[in-house]
Amino acid sequence: NQHMQTCETVEEILAYIAHWTEARASLPYEIDGIVLKVDRYDDQEELGFTAKSPRFATAYKFAAEEVMTTVEDVDFSVGRTGKVTPRARFAPVVVAGSTVTYATLHNADFIAEKDIRLQDSVIIKKAGDVIPAVVQVVTAERTGEETPIVFPTHCPACQSELVRLEGEVDIRCVSPECPAQLMEGIIHFVSRQAMNIDGLGEKVVRQLYDHEAIRTIADLYRLDRDELLTFDRMGETSVDKLLAAIEASKQNSVERLLFGLGIRLVGQKAAYLLAERFDSLAGIAAASYEEIVAIDGIGGKIADSIVKYFEHPEAQALIRDLEQLGVNQQFLGERVDQTNAPLGGKTIVLTGTLESLKRSEAGKRLEALGADVTGSVSKKTDVLVAGEKAGSKLTKAESLGIEIWDEARLLEELAKHEV
């Protein structure tokens, strides 16, 4: 690069950084930082590499660009769990190379904490140079014309009365008939992590919903080929592929179905643990709070959420409907014999960034060897696998004297035990 510069002192490095912090906008390309590198080859060789990057080079990241704009309005949207999320609409402004018009305001507490009002001047940035976020209100710019942001008392999608559950910051619609929740729930159900129905993207789901071809996830398994062919951008080939993908999803193991149902607080890991323990959706539905919470890795809030979900007549009817439509409700995964497994009985936590594989993949491979992979460090943790930029979990593990593996050790253990 023509702007590369050799620096002899830390002061020269800081001066170089200061210059390009101001001059970066003059470049004909986008940059988000500067690489600092030791330039003697013998020093580079001595410093060596981590599993992910050289120790003789590091990146200085510029502070996120901050820009002032005006809050023109606030929209409220309803997610699949009924959570009502406020979203600020700004006077369009360019931030970090792209035009920003919206940013989430999260919840009523966030709005109150920052005292955000309609027509306020606010400083916004892109968190991580990607996600627009409100940094603060510029109170010095207030004219007296600003007005408070008022949360709706009724759902913007179905007009049901909204509630704020005890101990929560979020305001929710709890109507089981809410169309926004139903549609978002279907989008979640068909996603890659859930039932993985290829060809059913968000736009297609919305089109099917708008044409009243679907109202529940069970309706996906009743879709008619001739009717689908009448919709926009639905040719014979795409319709046949879609119907084949829907049919194939009937053979998924039950943990995918359980996750796809969108039960509050039930993620992929919890769904797998439940499916492995109770063997079927019927078994999970019949399980008591005490039986569920006894599973290592399942807490009281998750157990309570599961019990309450299956108490609803609507949920029971949906499960019966899916069963009649031929959707598998049995656990088809392999169970690990913990007594003979190489890592049986070990509780392992993954943190930081791994270079050679994703953390989700590493977790699955460790579980296949009998390990219990959890998300938090405690006295029960046997091993912490620390990738790059490992933070508080690494600090806590070190304070508890827990065994630490780097990525190289993780790969060594996997290679040692996997057949």
Taking 70 as the threshold, does the pLDDT of residue 188 lie above it? yes
Least confident of 52-56, 160-164, 381-385, 403-407: 52-56
Taking 70 as the threshold, does the pLDDT of residue 266 lie above it? yes
Least confident of 92-101, 236-245, 334-343, 387-396: 334-343
Distance CA 107, CA 265 (A): 18
- Do residues 253 and 196 lie in contact, with contact meaning Cβ atoms separated by under 8 Å? no
Secondary structure (DSSP) of 221-274: GG--HHHHTTSTT--HHHHHHHHHHHHHHTTS-HHHHHHHTT-TT--HHHHHHH
For residues 228-237, give the mean pLDDT.
92
Label residue 336 by pLDDT band (50, 70, 90). low
Label residue 351 by pLDDT band (50, 70, 90). very high
Please name which of 118, 176, 179 lies closest in space to residue 150, comparing C-alpha atoms: 118
Secondary structure (DSSP) of 304-328: HHHHHHHHSHHHHHHHHHHHHTT--
Q: Which helix (H) or strand (E) holds 303?
A: helix 300-311
Distance CA 179, CA 217 (A): 12
Distance CA 409, CA 419 (A): 17
Taking 70 as the threshold, does the pLDDT of residue 380 lie above it? yes
- Dig out the tokens for 75 from the structure: 């929209």
pLDDT for residue 383: 95
Q: What is the pLDDT of residues 108-131, one digit of tens each?
A: 999 999 999 999 999 999 876 688
- Do residues 158 and 148 lie in contact, with contact meaning Cβ atoms separated by under 8 Å? no
The helix-helix angle for 179-189 and 202-210 (nearest 10°) equals: 140
pLDDT for residue 358: 87
Residues 6+ apart with CB under 8 A from 40: none
Distance CA 17, CA 111 (A): 35
Label residue 418 by pLDDT band (50, 70, 90). confident
pLDDT for residue 345: 82
Q: Give strand pairing partners of 412.
A: none
Label residue 375 by pLDDT band (50, 70, 90). confident
For residues 151-171, give the mean pLDDT.
91
pLDDT for residue 11: 96
Please name which of 64, 141, 123, 73 lies closest in space to residue 96, comparing C-alpha atoms: 64
For residues 49-58, give the mean pLDDT.
80
Label residue 141 by pLDDT band (50, 70, 90). very high
> Domains of the chain by range and CATH?
10-61 (3.30.1490.70), 66-148 (2.40.50.140), 179-242 (1.10.150.20), 254-324 (1.10.150.20), 347-417 (3.40.50.10190)
- Do residues 115 and 137 lie in contact, with contact meaning Cβ atoms separated by under 8 Å? yes
Residues 6+ apart with CB under 8 A from 307: 287, 288, 289, 292
Q: Is 347 helix (H, G, I), strand (E, B) or coil?
A: strand
Q: Give strand pairing partners of 388.
A: 353
Q: Is 8 helix (H, G, I), strand (E, B) or coil?
A: coil
pLDDT for residue 52: 64
H runs (alpha helix) in 26-170: 41-47, 108-114
- Do residues 276 and 302 lie in contact, with contact meaning Cβ atoms separated by under 8 Å? no
Label residue 138 by pLDDT band (50, 70, 90). very high
Q: Is 375 helix (H, G, I), strand (E, B) or coil?
A: coil
Q: What is the pLDDT of residues 282-329, one digit of tens each?
A: 999 999 999 999 887 788 999 999 999 999 888 899 999 999 999 999
Please name which of 225, 164, 213, 163 lies closest in space to residue 186, comparing C-alpha atoms: 213
- Do residues 78 and 180 lie in contact, with contact meaning Cβ atoms separated by under 8 Å? yes
- Dig out the tokens for 263 from the structure: 């039960």
Q: Name the residue type at position 153.
A: T
- Dig out the tokens for 144 from the structure: 């007296």
What is the total residue count of the chain? Answer: 419
Please name which of 180, 174, 170 lies closest in space to residue 162, comparing C-alpha atoms: 174
CA distance to 10, 27, 33, per residue, from 20 (Å): 16, 10, 9
- Do residues 194 and 205 lie in contact, with contact meaning Cβ atoms separated by under 8 Å? no
Please name which of 16, 63, 64 lies closest in space to residue 37, comparing C-alpha atoms: 16
Label residue 31 by pLDDT band (50, 70, 90). confident
Mean pLDDT across the chain, nearest whole number?
91
For residues 212-216, give the mean pLDDT.
93
